[in-house]
Structures are given as C-alpha cells and as structure tokens.
Amino acid sequence: MDDLISGKDLMARWGISPYELLSRFIKHGLIAYDETGKEVSPEEALHGTDDPRGDVDKINAWLNYELPGSEIEAQRMIGALGNLYFDKNNVEGIGDTFFPARPKKSNPAAEPDKPKPSDKHPRARHKKQTQAVAKDLWDKHPAMTVPEMVFHDEISKMCQREDGSQYSERTVKSWIKDLNPNEQLKGRPKKKDK
C-alpha cells in the first residue's frame, strides 16, 4: 500500500477534477487499483462488484470507458474516482510530464544518459500491460515458451511505442521471463547427447 496513492490525494496534488483524472489520465493508460493493490475495471469502481476479467481486459475497459448518460450514474463514477488508488511511480512520471516543476539549473553534460521523467511513464505502462497480457496468455496456454510469447500478436500490440516502433526482443523477454509458469520451457531446448 506504500507504493499507492489515492485518487483523492492525487487530484489534490495535481489540482485537477475527477473528470480530468478520468479523461486525461486513466483513459490514457494510468492503471487504477483498489485499496489492496488489485487492478479494477470501471464496473468494479462504480458498483463494487468483482470483475472476473483479466488485467488486460480491465485496462482496455478503462481506455474505452465513457461516463454513463445518466447524471446520477456519472456523478457516482466521478465520486468513486477519489476512492481508487494509483501506482506512485507511474504518477510521478506523469506528474513530471504534465505538471513540470520549475526548471533547475543543471549541467547537461553531467548526466547525458539519464532518462527524462517524461520518458519513464510510457515504458512503465507498456511493461505493466505486456506483463498482464503475458500472464493471461500463460494462464490459457501454459506450454507456451518465452520466445513464442515474445512474438505473440497480443504481446506485439502491447509493445508498440507511441512513435510506432517496437521494443526489442531482449527487452520484452526481460519483462516477461519471470512470469513463465513452466521453468523447463524458458527457451531453447537442451542438446541431446549422441
């Protein structure tokens, strides 16, 4: 719970409304959690019911979510956003991108390879989404190897950067290899002795 921040605290920190939290951030990939750290769908946030869908489907549900047409239902969702939780690491990356602090005087030559905070958020989001897809796929297909998983269509969709390029095979492997449920299927088969 130490690595999560509530929606209410987040809106106060950024000075935004619940509607802005939904439309500018959650609908663009900021992953919502409950107080236990479990990802939640819009239906779970609004109705408090258990949603059996996997993490990827829950993320996609937020990306496609529109406020209900009923004013009462819309107000209930707006109120529920304050009770959601968000990963502090993702929040800091987003906050630095959308709400930059005053520029500090620094020597750019001192840290040339250090990524900017704005660069951290999309990669962290893509990693989380890729891991969620891999976990769901391995639940359905436990015999799938890591290399097969890396080149699966659903994984490829999650590994696309904003500029259209793909993350490297090595990067994707590093993101998902520890999720493989079958230790013996981690890669190339061993050579047989003759």
pLDDT digits (tens, 9 = 90+) for 76-130: 888 888 888 888 877 776 766 666 554 554 555 555 555 444 445 678 888 888 8
For the chain, how many structural domains are there in total?
Answer: 2
Same domain flag for 25 and 83: yes
Same domain flag for 49 and 11: yes
Contact between 173 and 150 under an 8 Å Cβ cutoff? The reply is yes
- pLDDT at res. 187: 57
Same domain flag for 10 and 72: yes
- pLDDT at res. 116: 47
Comparing 103 with 17, the larger pLDDT belongs to 17
Same domain flag for 81 and 129: no
Largest CA distance in the chain: 74
CA dihedral 192, 172, 57, 51 (to 10 degrees): 70
Quote helix, strand, coil % in the chain, to nearest 5: 55, 5, 40
Measured distance CA(152)–CA(134) in Å, rounded: 9
Dihedral sign for Cα 82, 121, 42, 4, please.
Answer: negative
92 is a domain residue: yes
Same domain flag for 125 and 94: no
Query: To which H or E segment does residue 28 belong?
Result: none
* Separation in Å, CA 16 to CA 39, 46, 95: 22, 20, 11
pLDDT above 70 covers a percentage of the chain that reads: 80
Residue that finishes a domain, picked among 66, 98, 130: 98
Measured distance CA(133)–CA(112) in Å, rounded: 34
Condensed to tens digits (0 to 9), the pLDDT of residues 38-91 reads 888 888 887 878 888 888 888 888 888 887 777 777 788 888 888 888 888 777
* Separation in Å, CA 101 to CA 14, 21, 66: 12, 19, 31
Same domain flag for 76 and 141: no
| DSSP E strands, the chain | 4-6, 85-87
Contact between 156 and 148 under an 8 Å Cβ cutoff? The reply is no
76 is a domain residue: yes
Query: What six digits make up the tokens of 72?
Result: 């009462």
- Containing structural domain, residue 173: 119-185
- pLDDT at res. 139: 86
Condensed to tens digits (0 to 9), the pLDDT of residues 137-171 reads 888 888 888 888 888 888 888 888 878 888 888 88
Q: 144 Cβ partners below 8 Å, 6+ apart?
A: 137, 138, 152, 185
